[in-house]
Amino acid sequence: MRAALKEIFVKELGLKPDDFLDDLTYNSVPEWDSASHMAMILAVEEKFDLALESDDIVSMTSVAKILTILEGKGIAVD
């Protein structure tokens, strides 16, 4: 899942692959703003075939939290 999430971040946010770290947080880099956050959420939903709730979307404020939330939805972190 981590690799797939990294791919989404690189593709949707235009982030450099080396910048994808667990402690990367929302609004800490110019690439990850509200508009790209939504694009990332839509890509995650499509990739993992999920429908995320508003609470989940709002709490996905760092890579680590995204991984935890997705893990809670039964997607294995590899």
Partner 1 sequence: MAPISVRLRNSLRRATMAISIAYYRRYWGMDIGEGCRISHKAILDKSNPRGIHIGRYTGVALNAVILSHDFVRNKHVDTWIGERCHIGACAIIGAGVRVGDGCLVAAGSVVLKDVPDNCIVMGNPARVIEQGLKTGKWGVRVDILSSDRIDPNVLVTDEGKI
Q: Which residue ranges make up the site for partner 1 (CB under 8 A)?
A: 26-27, 34-35, 37-38, 41, 54, 57-58
Minimum Å distance from CB 53 to partner 1? 9
Q: How far is the CB of 58 from partner 1 (least distance, A)?
A: 5
| C-alpha dihedral (71, 16, 62, 48), degrees to nearest 10 | -30
- Report the C-alpha gap between 55 and 31 in whole angstroms: 22
Task: Return the number of the residue (17 or 30) whose C-beta is nearest partner 1.
Answer: 30
* Closer to partner 1 by Cβ: residue 53 or 77: 53
Is residue 14 packed enough to be buried (19+ CB in 10 Å), middle (13-18) or exposed (0-12)?
exposed
